[in-house]
Amino acid sequence: MFANFDFDVIRRSFGYLFLDGMTFTLTLTALGALGGLIFGTMIALMRLSGYKLLGRIAGLYVDLMRSLPLVLVIFWFYFLVPYIGQWLTGASRPVRVGAFTSCLVTFILFEAAYFSEIMRAGIQSISKGQPAAASALGMTYSQSMRYIVLPQAFRNMLPVLLTQTIVLFQDTSLVYVLSIPDFLGAASKVAQRDGRLVEMYLFAAIVYFAISCFASYGVRRLQARISIVR
Amino acid sequence: MESLRMMSLAVAAAVFATQASAQELTGTLKKVKESGTITVGYRDSSIPFSYLDDNQKPIGFAIDICRVIVDGVKSELKLDKLQVEFTPVTSSTRIPLLANGTIDLECGSTTNNPERLKQVAFTNTHFLTATRFVSKKANKLDMIDDLKGKSVASSSGTTNIKQLTEANAARNLGINIIPAKEHAESFLMVETDRAVAAVLDDILLASFVAGSKDPGAYVISKDAFSKPEPYGIMMRKDDPAFKKVVDAATSALYRSADGQKLYDKWFMQKIPPKGLNLNTPIGAELKHEFANPSDSPDPDSYKAM
Amino acid sequence: MNYNWNWRIFFEPAPNGTGTYLDMLLSGLVLTIETALVAWIIALVTGSIIGVFRSLPSKTANRIAFAYVEFFRNMPLLVQLFLWFFVLPELLPRSAGLWMKQMSNAPFYTAAIGIGLFMSARVAVQLAAGIGSLPRGQMQAATALGLTTSQSYRYVLLPMAFRIVLPPLTSEFLSTIKNTSVAITIGLIELTGQARAMQEFSFQVFEAFTGATLLYLLINIVVVIGMRFLERAVAVPGYITGK
């Protein structure tokens, strides 16, 4: 069955696949998760702030992002981000934004909606007595959030946050639709150039599978350890 | 490489002659001067115009033309250094990305037509090609009507898929159109029997057939969806200062002997990555156009006198 | 912003000869819904079987379910679709592969099955969690009544579990709808694909994507409201069934 396969194509393109493609994918995943977590936490705090308007805006944002397919959002932002940049900086023309930055902005804004729901659950899981005690100690709202509530919420939600990051890692493959050379994009470029779809796509599948499996195994270990400590 | 340098010198001279020195810079020229960077959009698989070599670097006839344009821009702006960035585009993303400033020049195989001119601008024509389809010889398809009721691939965002869509509606063919992201993918659909035919510009079809594992197995239709239409390097519209520089650079290139040399480099000699030779001598129309560079979208204006 | 807005574009004729650009988007919407429904049926059926396997006392059944879930959860959906669409037909005997490739609706079937299997792993996890959340006494009582394992699942555990996991299943169904857009990479011209085509033909990028966005919001609202009614109708008294 594998007789007329050319697995050498993988070896020949190894550097491109991993040094260019996988580096792009992993950097996008890491920065996207970090940015998404920070922005997502802000959204969660807005929703829980008690200011009706603020909460409603944040809620609408989350609902909007969660209603849209990522592919559509990727197209939207790739074309829109330079105009947003123009609007933010007051420049006279759209700001040139590279492919990577554009994708990063997309994933931060999109994933923030999902991260915010996780953080909201995390914050709500902290008993009310804790922020009450903090304010009794004379801490301001931001101090009590920063030193008491958020660290615990983050810790409790760590396995869920990491699982969401694995989803994000898989989702980055969708930048393929923009012809950007992430790992899958690189694999498909080689595949199409050399007419080796079968070999390249099988290989890409195995690589994604191995990384995701390894990462989710790590999350399960972590979860077991955290639940014992608690 | 030596000839490229000569070319740039000739172009620099031509640009210098047309320069309006004291004028305030606007549009793309201003942007390029301020950032010291010009961004070129390239294609993955528009062989031999704009595609990736073995090291995944963009090369091709249109990319070489763009290098000449970049040199023209550089001397117009009197810059010592001008950084060139390459961004991949698809047929579907190239126009929005040009409009939103992600790329400044699109160097590939983009057809210049009146519809697109409402959105973008084109410099002098660098090729003429008609929309045709490729199929496997064994299937014995020759006329467009033979595609009736079959699955046919084409690249999304091209004039090709639009002409196919229109012909499908006008002639009531009931063709199942499969949009592909890239030209290479369109051809692969035929190679792997996903589609019986792929509708693209005939020059691209010829290069895919020549580069395939069994070139003898394919045939390009005589029946065409369009007249030979002009390809141009694409830039933002309403930017006359930039267009003037780009037009001057391409016009000087095409008129000089280097234009023909550059053509021969990509169409008459072996090209990377597979050492393919397309053996496509320059047509009378294009030769005439190179002598009298034109940015007209009208196919009829290119009839050789 | 130097962009020529033209909201009337929706009512201008599209080049495919079947109507306006709005009709184009609506035909995409129909295809999105059709694909999502077929995929969802596949996801529910296979997901339920695997979910039950996950909860059975048999080690072998657990292992099969575990491997199944890991297989479909640890690969990006896009890669899975590529495997079904580009790779599978090449691995089959030539005639079977050719038959698969030349089906005129190949992208639709591939998308429905590929997305269905991808989602089935998620349904399985939800359902297994639902079964696991039932008090142990339910199964014991069923056994005491002389029900076989399959009878206890059929009459006791599953009717309860499905009602409990209805809210998470709603969001999985919404994911299924959204995931159909990934199939534009294998040539399915659903809603996102039609929006892209509209952008290419008309050059009105933002109008096209706004149209698609509104239609996705509409589907979401309809599904959420519909499911809320369903949840209320089947709620188990005494259980907190979400909102």
Domains in chain B: boundaries:
2-128+230-301, 131-220
Residue of A nearest to C94 (CA): A1
Nearest residue, CB atoms, A75 vs list C74, C78, C196:
C196
Beta strands in C31-169 (DSSP E): none
Rounded Cα–Cα distance for residues C15 and B163 (Å): 9
Instruction: Report the residue of A26, A65, A183, A201 to disrupt the C interface, i.e. the one with the largest count of C CBs within 10 Å.
Output: A201
- In sequence order, which residues have a C-beta less than 8 Å from that of residue A134 and are 6 or more positions away? A143, A144, A147, A148, A149
Indicate the pLDDT class of residue C35, thresholds 50, 70 and 90. Answer: very high
Q: Is the pLDDT of residue B15 over 70?
A: no
Chain B residues near residue C193 by CB distance under 8 angstroms: 179
Residue C131 near residue C55 (C-beta atoms within 8 A): yes
- The tokens describing A11, both together, are 């070896």
Indicate the pLDDT class of residue A221, thresholds 50, 70 and 90. Answer: very high
| Residue whose tokens read 């479909």 | C72
C76/A93 touch (CB, cutoff 8 Å), yes or no:
no
Quick one: which H or E segment has residue C172? Answer: helix C166-179
Indicate the pLDDT class of residue B8, thresholds 50, 70 and 90. Answer: low
Chain C residues near residue B176 by CB distance under 8 angstroms: 104
Q: How many Cβ atoms from other residues are within 10 Å of residue B272's Cβ? A: 15
B162 close contact with C: CB closer than 8 A: yes
Q: Is the pLDDT of residue A83 over 60?
A: yes
C20 close contact with B: CB closer than 8 A: no
Pure H helices in chain A: 8-12, 14-15, 23-47, 52-67, 70-89, 99-124, 129-136, 141-143, 150-171, 183-194, 197-229
The closest of A174, B105, B52 to C179, measured between CA atoms, is A174
- In sequence order, which residues have a C-beta less than 8 Å from that of residue A162 and are 6 or more positions away? A215, A218, A219, A222
Q: Is the pLDDT of residue A163 over 50?
A: yes
Rounded Cα–Cα distance for residues A158 and A156 (Å): 6
B169/C17 touch (CB, cutoff 8 Å), yes or no:
yes
User: Looking at residue C241, what is its pLDDT?
Assistant: 47
Stretch A54-77: mean pLDDT: 96
User: Looking at residue C3, what is its pLDDT?
Assistant: 78
Quick one: which H or E segment has residue C109? Answer: helix C106-133
Stretch C172-191: mean pLDDT: 96
User: Looking at residue C234, what is its pLDDT?
Assistant: 87
- In sequence order, which residues have a C-beta less than 8 Å from that of residue C184 and are 6 or more positions away? A71, A177, C190, C192, C193, C196
Q: What sign for the dihedral angle of Cα B105, B111, B117, B118?
A: negative
| Residue whose tokens read 């023309």 | A93
The full length of chain B comes to 305
Rounded Cα–Cα distance for residues A49 and A208 (Å): 39
Backbone angles phi, psi at A3, to 5 degrees: -60, -45
C70/A64 touch (CB, cutoff 8 Å), yes or no:
no
Q: Is the pLDDT of residue B75 over 80?
A: yes
Residue of A nearest to B274 (CA): A194
C63 close contact with A: CB closer than 8 A: no
At A197-217, the pLDDT tens digits run 999 999 999 999 999 999 999
Residue B44 near residue B186 (C-beta atoms within 8 A): no
Minimum distance, in Å, between the CA of residue B81 and any CA atom of chain C = 30
DSSP conformational letter for B70? H
Q: Which of residues 113-132 of C touch B (CB under 8 A)?
A: none
At B23-38, the pLDDT tens digits run 578 899 999 999 999 9
Residue B284 near residue B304 (C-beta atoms within 8 A): yes
**Single-letter residue type at B156:** S
CA angle, B151 then B154 then B157, to 5°: 140
At C76-124, the pLDDT tens digits run 999 999 999 999 999 999 999 999 998 888 999 999 999 999 999 999 9
- The tokens describing B13, both together, are 């001279």
**Single-letter residue type at B206:** A
User: Looking at residue B303, what is its pLDDT?
Assistant: 85
The correct CATH number of B131-220 out of 3.40.50.970, 1.10.3720.10, 3.40.50.720, 3.40.190.10 is 3.40.190.10
Indicate the pLDDT class of residue B11, thresholds 50, 70 and 90. Answer: low
In this prediction the pTM is 0.92
Q: Helix A150-171 vs helix A23-47: angle between axes, to the nearest 10 degrees? A: 140
Instruction: List, in sequence order, every residue forming a beta bridge with B234; answer none if it has no partner.
Output: B106, B122
Percent residues over pLDDT 90 in chain B:
88
Instruction: Report the residue of A64, A75, A217 to disrupt the C interface, i.e. the one with the largest count of C CBs within 10 Å.
Output: A75
At A87-120, the pLDDT tens digits run 999 888 888 888 999 999 999 999 999 999 999 9
User: Looking at residue C134, what is its pLDDT?
Assistant: 92
Indicate the pLDDT class of residue A3, thresholds 50, 70 and 90. Answer: low
Q: Is the pLDDT of residue A49 over 80?
A: yes
B162/C89 touch (CB, cutoff 8 Å), yes or no:
no
Backbone angles phi, psi at C188, to 5 degrees: -85, 125
Stretch B50-70: mean pLDDT: 95
Minimum distance, in Å, between the CA of residue C191 and any CA atom of chain B = 14
Indicate the pLDDT class of residue C243, thresholds 50, 70 and 90. Answer: very low
Q: Which domains does chain C have, with CATH numbers?
A: 12-234 (1.10.3720.10)
Residue A175 near residue A74 (C-beta atoms within 8 A): yes
Rounded Cα–Cα distance for residues C165 and C142 (Å): 21
C203/B95 touch (CB, cutoff 8 Å), yes or no:
yes
**Single-letter residue type at A191:** A
Pure H helices in C56-105: 59-73, 77-82, 88-91, 94-102
User: Looking at residue B54, what is its pLDDT?
Assistant: 86
**B2-128+230-301 and B131-220 in the same fold:** yes
At B183-220, the pLDDT tens digits run 999 999 999 999 999 999 999 999 999 999 899 999 99
Chain C residues near residue A88 by CB distance under 8 angstroms: none
Residue of B nearest to C90 (CA): B192
A64 close contact with C: CB closer than 8 A: yes
B260 close contact with A: CB closer than 8 A: no
Chain A residues near residue B102 by CB distance under 8 angstroms: 78, 82, 96-99, 102
The closest of A160, A145, A130 to A226, measured between CA atoms, is A160
C1/A94 touch (CB, cutoff 8 Å), yes or no:
yes
Fold (topology level) of B2-128+230-301: D-Maltodextrin-Binding Protein; domain 2 (3.40.190)
Instruction: List, in sequence order, every residue forming a beta bridge with B51; answer none if it has no partner.
Output: B45, B59
DSSP conformational letter for C20? B
Nearest residue, CB atoms, B170 vs list C17, C106, C196:
C17
Rounded Cα–Cα distance for residues A124 and A119 (Å): 8
B92/C187 touch (CB, cutoff 8 Å), yes or no:
no
- ipTM for the predicted complex comes to 0.93
Beta strands in C25-140 (DSSP E): none
Instruction: List, in sequence order, every residue forming a beta bridge with B270; answer none if it has no partner.
Output: B277
Tell me how far the alpha carbon of residue C222 is from its chain's centroid: 16
Kindly provide the b/e burial profile for residues B29-59, where b requires at least 16 CB atoms within 10 angstroms of the residue's own CB: bbbbbeeeebbbbbbbbbbbbbbbeeebebb
Q: Torsion over CA of C97, C101, C103 and C106, rounded to 10 degrees?
A: 120
Tell me how far the alpha carbon of residue B21 is from its chain's centroid: 31
Rounded Cα–Cα distance for residues C186 and C215 (Å): 22
The closest of B213, B184, B211 to B274, measured between CA atoms, is B211
- In sequence order, which residues have a C-beta less than 8 Å from that of residue B38 and are 6 or more positions away? B32, B70, B73, B82, B83, B84, B85, B104, B105
Rounded Cα–Cα distance for residues A115 and B131 (Å): 48
Least confident of B31-35, C163-167, C184-188, C232-236: C232-236
Chain A adjacent subunits, 3+ CB pairs under 8 A: B, C
Pure H helices in chain B: 2-18, 27-35, 61-76, 94-99, 114-117, 159-170, 183-191, 202-211, 240-255, 257-267, 284-291
Rg (CA), chain C: 22
CA angle, A201 then A18 then A4, to 5°: 35
Residue of A nearest to B95 (CA): A79
Instruction: Report the residue of B148, B194, B213, B238 to disrupt the C interface, i.e. the one with the largest count of C CBs within 10 Å.
Output: B194
Minimum distance, in Å, between the CA of residue A159 and any CA atom of chain C = 16
Question: How many CA atoms does the CB half-sphere of B67 hold within 13 Å?
Answer: 17
Q: How many Cβ atoms from other residues are within 10 Å of residue B25's Cβ? A: 15
Q: Is the pLDDT of residue C242 over 50?
A: no
Indicate the pLDDT class of residue C216, thresholds 50, 70 and 90. Answer: very high
User: Looking at residue C86, what is its pLDDT?
Assistant: 94
Rounded Cα–Cα distance for residues A192 and B186 (Å): 10
Backbone angles phi, psi at B135, to 5 degrees: -150, 170
Stretch B125-131: mean pLDDT: 97
Q: Is B81 left (phi over 0), alpha (psi -120 to 50) or beta?
A: beta
Q: Is the pLDDT of residue B16 over 60?
A: no
Pure H helices in B100-239: 114-117, 159-170, 183-191, 202-211
User: Looking at residue A117, what is its pLDDT?
Assistant: 95
Size of interface B-C (CB pairs under 8 A): 60
At C65-81, the pLDDT tens digits run 999 999 999 999 999 99
Rounded Cα–Cα distance for residues B226 and B115 (Å): 15
